[in-house]
Amino acid sequence: MARLRITQNGALVQLFAFEGEAVTIGSGADADVVLAGEGIAARHATLRRDGGAWELTAHAPVRVNGTPASRQRLAGGDVFDVGAYRMELDSTGSEQTRPVVGQRPAARKPEPPPPPQPSLDAARTLEKLFRATRRLGSRVNSGELLSNMMDCLIEVFGAERGFILLSDSRTGALEPAISRRIDPADVRGAISTTVTRRVFDERRPLLVTDADAEDWSKQAASIQREQLRSIICAPLVGEDGPVEGVVYLDSRVRSRFFTERDLELLDAFCHYSVIAIDGARERDQLRRDVDQLKMLNLEEVLKEHNFENVIHRSGAMAQVLDQVKAVAARDVTAVILGESGTGKELIARAIHHRSSRAQGPFVAINCMALSRELIESELFGHEKGAFSGAVARKPGRFELASGGTLLLDEVGELPLPLQGKLLRVLQEGERERVGGTQTIRVDVRLLGATHKDLKREVAEGRFREDLYYRIDVFTLRLPALRERKEDIPLLVRHFIELFNQKMGRKVRGIHTDALEGLVRYDWPGNVRELRNVIERAFVLESTELLSCASLPLDLARDRSPASGAAASPPPVRAPVAAEGPVPTAGGPVLSIDSLPRDFEAAKLEFEKLFLREAIRRHDGNLTEAARELGISRRHIYRRIESLGL
């Protein structure tokens, strides 16, 4: 009995023991020794016994001892190459059983392998697979990613048909996600569910070299119906995560189409692909969330952040809004400078919504609200395992803001080491996630906001000079509320309308003395503090007019310490009619909308109503009316005379 020892790249592939006068070698199903790979003909070569020796006849290119040969008698120690395979004939070998092509023996005697021989077929396969894995890193949605994967796998492994099935998170069923070379209507019936379910449940790849030789396949209806010959299937699963699906390739052309080496490559590719699929699914979910938010909040967002709806009357704010127009039209970085509560984010959103990036996302991050350890991860994202607690990949704010605008609120608080990384991103337009090596392109417009004087921060070494000049292409300075007090009545009216809608109330205005208290206050918390004060008044006030009683004491009773003015008279409690808000003398309810536009005239009109109503409640008794209002009888007489009541 003779024995043919077959190796590939120095590794033993098969020991073929045979008797008889001739042995055929090739890729055809009727060959005695079936080999798979590029450049191997269906009937590539024949070995024939010639007396006590063997003669090799080549029907396609063959090399004997490295020299091309068409017919040659083989002597002891001769080797011949068929494609990527090296063969050595031992005519004195002991009897062996014939193994299945493509399966390695369970054990073999250790022996020094021959020098590795270059394999053109293996090199091309690895090159194709490398190109395929690079394509997995592209920022596409999950549908495009799966389509790219399927095209690559068909090309790399030469499969007749291919399928990717994903697990339904609710039912656990494997549902076809993408297919190739089959009518979509026939997909479900064409796949061997026996194979796919086994691979999914066992979390291991499976190779079927010859379906006809497998006993279990005779019971598989799809294998018999589709006349499948060779199948390769691998799970889509990470290190410790759940199985997300399977990749399934088959061939009806011949058995032994796929090899163990193919199985190893497909399994490795699927393991890597899970990361890309998870990333694509995250992007899909983010897009769905953004679309849903746009649908739910489009009108509110446009009203809240529309440039024309910024509440103002002052010249200082008018100048700022003119600057917003100019900055929004140019895709440049800008810094918004202003005290806390002046509306820096509102102005940033106004810039975004008037810019060419308005259809993209607006993402904001407060650099002061995060620890030094987390800020880099929040900005640039991180890979799974990048640090303790990084249990999954997370996209950063730069990634989330792609195609739109990123606001770095309190940018002056960035740690110096991170300032250098931010500068690199702005200069080179690319970044890597924390713990990652993949370079990701950045396409965002950067806006900075701060309450600090960045020039002073640069001079004192707390802010990089090169970063300052990179981001400070244009500076918008927002005035504090104390610098635009003429806007306070407008803002109060706006907040009354806002909270009427949110709370379902019908507050119609504010008492004059309460409004005076708001105007004379210095507002260290700016517009944000004013909003909170009005919201608090809505909670405390039960009537249709906001009063001093519903304001904090320092607003209702005292003048601003910064102004140095004397204290105001004690707070006056709002008049309350028996059946609702205070009417004018025979006229309609008095509210801000019905007051004169001139502040002093409005104040006098309201004071007339106020005193007239107090006197009416006490049937003309001025002493009792003065006592209720907390003023002297002399004072009320003087006001009546002054107002002409």
Distance CA 468, CA 558 (A): 42
Q: Region 528-540: what's the mean pLDDT? A: 90
Find out whether 282 and 395 touch, Cβ atoms under 8 Å. yes
Distance CA 234, CA 244 (A): 11
More confidently predicted of 10 and 87: 87
Distance CA 237, CA 203 (A): 7
Q: What is the DSSP letter of 460?
A: T
Find out whether 433 and 446 touch, Cβ atoms under 8 Å. no
Distance CA 79, CA 66 (A): 8
More confidently predicted of 305 and 550: 550
Spatial CB neighbours of 264, under 8 Å, sequence gap ≥ 6: none
What letters, b where the CB count within 10 A reaches 16 and e where it falls short, cover 317-346? beebeebbeebbeeeebbbbbbbebbbbbb
* pLDDT value of residue 476: 93
Q: Any bridge partners for residue 55, and if so which?
A: 48, 73
Distance CA 264, CA 135 (A): 20
Query: How does DSSP assign 6-75, residue by residue?
Result: EEETTEEEEEEEE-SSEEEEESSTT-SEE--STT--TT-EEEEEETTEEEEEESS--EETTEE-SEEEE-
Our CA dihedral for 197, 201, 204, 206, rounded to 10 degrees, sits at: -20
More confidently predicted of 183 and 87: 87
Distance CA 437, CA 433 (A): 7
* pLDDT value of residue 298: 41
Find out whether 48 and 18 touch, Cβ atoms under 8 Å. no
More confidently predicted of 122 and 416: 416
Q: How far is CA 9 from the centre of its chain?
A: 44
Query: How does DSSP assign 564-627, residue by residue?
Result: TPPPPPPPPPPP-BTTBSPB-SSSPBP-GGGS-SSHHHHHHHHHHHHHHHHHHHTTT-HHHHHH
Spatial CB neighbours of 20, under 8 Å, sequence gap ≥ 6: 49
138 CB-side CA count, 13 A: 16
Find out whether 424 and 323 touch, Cβ atoms under 8 Å. no
Is the pLDDT score of 302 beyond 60? no
Q: What is the largest CA-CA distance in the chain?
A: 144
Spatial CB neighbours of 63, under 8 Å, sequence gap ≥ 6: 69, 80, 81
Find out whether 478 and 342 touch, Cβ atoms under 8 Å. yes
Least confident piece of the model among 45-49, 318-322, 613-617: 613-617
Reference 391, options 399, 382, 378, 400; nearest CA is 382
* pLDDT value of residue 98: 40
Is the pLDDT score of 404 beyond 90? yes
Distance CA 194, CA 211 (A): 12
Task: Write out the two tokens for 182.
Answer: 């089959």
Is the pLDDT score of 79 beyond 80? yes
Find out whether 25 and 46 touch, Cβ atoms under 8 Å. yes
The total number of residues shown for the chain amounts to 645
Task: Write out the two tokens for 247.
Answer: 């990749």
Find out whether 390 and 384 touch, Cβ atoms under 8 Å. yes
Q: Region 433-451: what's the mean pLDDT? A: 87
Least confident piece of the model among 207-216, 374-383, 489-498: 207-216
In the block, which residue shows the tokens 């799966």?
146
249 CB-side CA count, 13 A: 26
Query: How does DSSP assign 376-404, residue by residue?
Result: HHHHHEE-TTSSTT--S-EE-HHHHTTTS
Is the Cα torsion angle 544, 547, 549, 554 positive or negative in sign? positive
* pLDDT value of residue 362: 92
Q: Any bridge partners for residue 90, and if so which?
A: 3
* pLDDT value of residue 108: 35
Distance CA 510, CA 522 (A): 19
The phi, psi pair for 197, rounded to 5°, reads -70, -35
565 band by pLDDT with thresholds 50, 70 and 90: very low
Distance CA 594, CA 588 (A): 9
Distance CA 137, CA 141 (A): 11
Task: Write out the two tokens for 512.
Answer: 């004059």
Is the pLDDT score of 572 beyond 50? no
* pLDDT value of residue 11: 75
Strand, coil or helix: what is 408? strand
Least confident piece of the model among 14-18, 463-467, 522-526: 14-18
Q: Any bridge partners for residue 477, and if so which?
A: 337
DSSP H or E segment with residue 143 = helix 142-157
Distance CA 605, CA 596 (A): 8
458 band by pLDDT with thresholds 50, 70 and 90: very high
Share of the chain above pLDDT 90, in %: 18
* pLDDT value of residue 260: 87
Spatial CB neighbours of 174, under 8 Å, sequence gap ≥ 6: 165, 166, 167, 168, 193, 196, 197, 200, 245, 246
Reference 262, options 210, 197, 205, 202; nearest CA is 205
Q: Region 225-243: what's the mean pLDDT? A: 83
Strand, coil or helix: what is 354? coil
Reference 581, options 489, 629, 516, 509; nearest CA is 509
Strand, coil or helix: what is 80? strand
Task: Write out the two tokens for 263.
Answer: 């199985």
